[in-house]
Amino acid sequence: MTPLHLEASDALLVVDMQYDFLPGGSLGVPGGDQVLGPINRLIKLFGEQGLPVYASRDWHPGDHCSFAARGGPWPPHCVAGTRGAAFSDALRLPPDAIVVSKAETADVDAYSAFNGTGLAGQLRARGVRRVAVCGLATDYCVLNTALDARANGFDVLVVPQAMRAVDVNPGDGERAIAAMVERGALPVQVDELAAASV
Ligand code: VGL
Ligand code: ZN
């Protein structure tokens, strides 16, 4: 396997690793817990290189428009401040991880961590040019985050083994990965990523 060397302008973006998206949660993604290991390896690798780790979270008010009670497609999930909205304790986020909260107002949904969060500006201010994207769910927040990263001019690495799909329709996850690749994201495996070359 040819190693893909990390660069000083890389950042890791961990999408929505919250209890409600893990098995047992109100919107549990099948196999969602299986990505904790690969994501923790990514966190360790980026941390060892001194590269920034961003963690997005769905952070909804109790009357969010995406909830079934308001005619939305989802059961209530990730209500700000609840246990379901907390990051999994099994996720080894570094103390200096940058938390990005999204879809915080009742009448707007946002699947992308770039939507209404100022993330693109934060990344640019830090000199980030490429983001590695992983987390939940492949076919919603990961997809939209990766596409927005490309739309904002960032290079994107996607790590399929570190993401899982809701798959409301079978194949949604595979199609989401294909859509990211179609827009220029590069699929990589955790073991392929190597320390920055000197
Ligand atoms: C998500 C459904 C609803 C996600 C968020 O993080 O992928 N999916 N809200
Ligand atoms: Zn949501």
Q: Is 102 helix (H, G, I), strand (E, B) or coil?
A: strand
Residue whose CA lies nearest to ligand 1 atom number 6:
141
**Closest ligand by atom to 139 CA:** 1
Cα of 3 vs centre of ligand 1, distance in Å, is 32
CA 157, 161, 163, 165 torsion: positive or negative? positive
Contacts 24+ apart (CB under 8 A), 23-27: 25/77, 25/84, 26/75, 26/76, 26/77, 26/84, 27/74, 27/75, 27/77, 27/78, 27/166
User: What is the residue extent of each domain of the chain?
Assistant: 10-193
In the predicted structure, residue 97 carries a pLDDT above the cut 70: yes
Q: Name every protein residue with a CB atom under 6 angstroms from any ligand 1 atom.
A: 16, 21, 27, 58, 66, 74, 111, 136-137, 140-141
Contact 140, 13 (CB under 8 A): no
Retrieve residue 182's tokens.
């179609």
CA angle centred on 188, ends 182 and 189, rounded to 5°:
145
| pLDDT at residue 198, rounded to an integer | 56
Residues 10-25, mean pLDDT to the nearest whole number: 98
pLDDT category, 119, cuts 50, 70, 90? very high
Q: Judge if pTM exceeds 0.95.
A: yes
Domain 10-193 has CATH 3.40.50.850: yes
How would you label 78-108 residue by residue, b for 16+ Cβ within 10 Å and e otherwise?
A: bbeebebbebbeebebeeebbebbbbbeeee
Retrieve residue 23's tokens.
């098995």
Contact 16, 137 (CB under 8 A): yes
User: What confidence tens digit (pLDDT) does each residue in 126-185 have?
Assistant: 999 999 999 999 999 999 999 999 999 999 999 999 999 999 999 999 999 999 999 999
Percent of the chain exceeding pLDDT 90 equals 96
Residues 5-33, mean pLDDT to the nearest whole number: 98
Judge if the upstream peptide bond of residue 195 is cis by omega within 30 degrees of 0.
no
User: What confidence tens digit (pLDDT) does each residue in 33-48 have?
Assistant: 999 999 999 999 999 9
Residue whose CA lies nearest to ligand 1 atom number 3:
74
Question: Best mutation site among 19, 22, 65, 74 for ligand 1, i.e. most ligand atoms within 8 A of its Cβ?
Answer: 74
Cα of 59 vs centre of ligand 2, distance in Å, is 7
Residues 24-35, mean pLDDT to the nearest whole number: 98
User: What confidence tens digit (pLDDT) does each residue in 60-76 have?
Assistant: 999 999 999 999 999 99
Residue whose CA lies nearest to ligand 1 atom number 8:
140
